[in-house]
Structures are given as C-alpha cells and as structure tokens.
C-alpha cells in the first residue's frame, strides 16, 4: 500500500469528518433540547456557504469578517424562525418536522432563484501545501481540520461551563424541571435552535473556500447529519464525534479504493444495520440527552 495514498486519504477523511461532526452537532443539539427533527438544518448549511459567496466573493470582504457576519446572521435568522414559526407547532413533533422541511425548501429555493443552480466558489484563504513524509498535503484542508477542532473545544467548554450551555443541557434532560429551577425554557429553545443553525453555517464557511457550493449542498449535509446522529446515538455528543469520524473515514476509503456511489451505498447500509442491530447507536443512551 502506498504511503502517499494513505496520507491523502487520512487528510481527506479528517476534513470530511470535521465538517460532518460540526453539522451533526447542531442537529443533535436541536433534537436534544427541543425533541424535534430539524429538516431545515441543511438549509442553514447552504445559507452559510452562500453567505460567504455574497460577502467574500461578491462584496470582497475579508474572510474572517465574512465568516462572523454570515454565522451571526444565520443564527439570528434561525432564532427568529424558531420564535415565529417553530414554537407554534411545538406540541406536535411530526408537524414541526414538516414545518421545518417547508422552511428549508423556502430557503434552498430562494437561494436557487437568486444565484442559480450552477456551482459558485469563494476565494481561497490558505494556499500552498505541506510536505508530510512522501506526500504533499494541501494546507487549506489542514486548516479546516484545526479550525473545526478549536470550534469543537469551544463548544464543549460552552456546554460544560457556560451559563447558557448548562441551561441547554438542563432543558434537554428535563424541560419541566429546568423551568421549575428558573430557566427560561423558551429562550433556551430559541438559543439552541439559532446556535445549531449558526454551527451548521460555520461548518459551511470553513469548507466554502475549499469546495464548490450549489443550492443543494444542504441536502447532503442533512443526510450526513442523519447518518452521523443515528450511528453515534441520538443526542450524544461523544457519539457524534465518533460516528462523524467513522462516516468520514468509511466514505474516504471507499471513494479512494472504489468510487463515490459505492461509498454512499456502504455508509447508508451501515446506518440501516446500526439502526436495526443497535437502535440506540454506538454511544446513545435509551433516553436522548445532550
């Protein structure tokens, strides 16, 4: 086996894993806090990529500024959607799900109407490559992985020690009890929903300079979130990390040695098997918590 191919595969797997983990974290956060399946989550990812296209490519703003503005706008918009629409169907999980599906379609369709269906790109931020042993690795991918690690660490610290992070965990464990302890559950739900969308958008802003974007990249991101969350166990953060790595690696290895449709078939089959053999996922508990 060629060492070069192995290193390239590992780097590509880590990049995909990093993105999948971030997106799926938002997804599982919403599920944990609100008990809803957020079908609009993919649209937040798409919105992140197109935010970068508008600010970075069209307006020519610096990368970091574009990232911050994009993430904040997406998060605020999502929090607003939560308060204005999602809350109104909160009593019924299926209705909420269909509602978020509708919201996602509106956003995705609006992006296609505005920018067309053909791929768009964001100017590269990091160029050049690193020499790792015998192989040449593009720097931008390494940067994506490092950034994702930093974000993950911050997020973990926030959930563990932050005031609102603790409130989020409290609500996901028992909303009534949290409310009885003076936590404003409605606020927590809006923050959770907005924050989750913000994380998805952030993941997209990280990868946007590396890959092309179309209005439909969110579908794939959503599908990957489903897979990661199911394999890892619904509501489990360590599960998301483990499953994200698993999906990223299975996908990269099968793509390198066979092709991408085999990769899809293999990962989806793994999902079906996990669902049937270990319905709680690898690290899930019987009751979903964050």
Residues that bind another protein (CB under 8 A): 31, 37, 85, 88-89, 91-95, 97-99, 101-113, 116-117, 215, 219, 223, 226-227, 230, 234, 259, 261-262, 264-265, 268-269, 271-272, 275-276, 279-280
Least distance in Å: CB of 167 to another protein? Answer: 24
Provide the minimum distance between the beta carbon of 203 and another protein in the complex, in angstroms, as a whole number: 20
Please state the closest distance from residue 218 (CB atom) to another protein, in A: 11
| Residue closer to another protein, measured from CB, 136 or 269 | 269
What is the separation, in whole angstroms, between the first and last Cα of the chain?
40
Nearer to another protein, 8 or 108 (CB): 108
C-beta closer to another protein: residue 124 or 264: 264
CB nearer another protein, residue 5 or residue 265: 265
State the minimum distance, in angstroms, from the CB of residue 141 to another protein. Answer: 25
State how far the Cα of 67 lies from the Cα of 175, in Å rounded to an integer: 33
The smaller minimum CB distance to another protein, of residues 2 and 259, is found at: 259
Q: How far is the CB of 97 from another protein (least distance, A)?
A: 7
Question: Who contacts 158 (Cβ-Cβ below 8 Å, separation ≥6)?
Answer: 164, 165
The least distance separating another protein from the CB of residue 244, rounded to whole angstroms, comes to 16
The residues, ordered by sequence, that sit 6+ positions from 289 with a Cβ below 8 Å of its Cβ are 32, 169, 172, 173, 235, 236
> Dihedral through CA 147, CA 255, CA 201, CA 172, nearest 10?
-90
CB of 91 or CB of 127, closer to another protein: 91
Nearest-angstrom CA–CA distance, 72 and 83: 17
């Amino acid at each position: 086996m060629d060492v070069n191919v192995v290193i390239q595969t590992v780097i590509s797997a880590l990049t995909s894993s990093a993105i999948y983990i971030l997106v799926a974290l938002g997804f599982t956060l919403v599920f944990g806090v609100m008990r809803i399946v957020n079908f609009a989550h993919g649209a937040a990812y798409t919105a992140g990529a197109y935010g970068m296209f508008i600010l970075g490519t069209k307006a020519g703003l610096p990368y970091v500024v574009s990232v911050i503005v994009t993430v904040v706008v997406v998060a605020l918009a999502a929090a607003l959607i939560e308060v204005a629409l999602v809350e109104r169907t909160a009593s019924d999980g299926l209705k909420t799900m269909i509602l978020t599906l509708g919201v996602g379609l509106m956003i995705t369709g609006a992006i296609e109407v505005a920018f067309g269906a053909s791929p768009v790109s964001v100017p590269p931020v990091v160029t050049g490559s690193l020499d790792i042993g015998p192989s040449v690795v593009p720097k931008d991918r390494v940067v994506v992985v490092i950034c994702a690690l930093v974000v993950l660490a911050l997020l973990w610290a926030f959930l563990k020690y932050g005031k609102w992070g603790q409130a989020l965990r409290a609500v996901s464990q028992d909303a009534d009890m949290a409310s009885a302890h003076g936590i404003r559950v409605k606020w927590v739900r809006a923050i959770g929903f907005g924050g989750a969308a913000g994380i998805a958008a952030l993941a997209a802003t990280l990868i946007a300079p590396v890959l092309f974007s179309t209005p439909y990249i969110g579908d794939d991101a959503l599908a990957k979130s489903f897979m990661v969350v199911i394999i890892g166990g619904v509501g489990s953060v360590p599960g998301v990390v483990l499953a994200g790595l698993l999906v990223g690696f299975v996908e990269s290895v099968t793509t390198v040695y066979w092709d991408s449709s085999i990769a899809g078939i293999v990962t989806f089959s793994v999902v079906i098997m996990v669902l049937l053999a270990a319905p709680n996922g690898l690290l899930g508990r019987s009751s979903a918590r964050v």
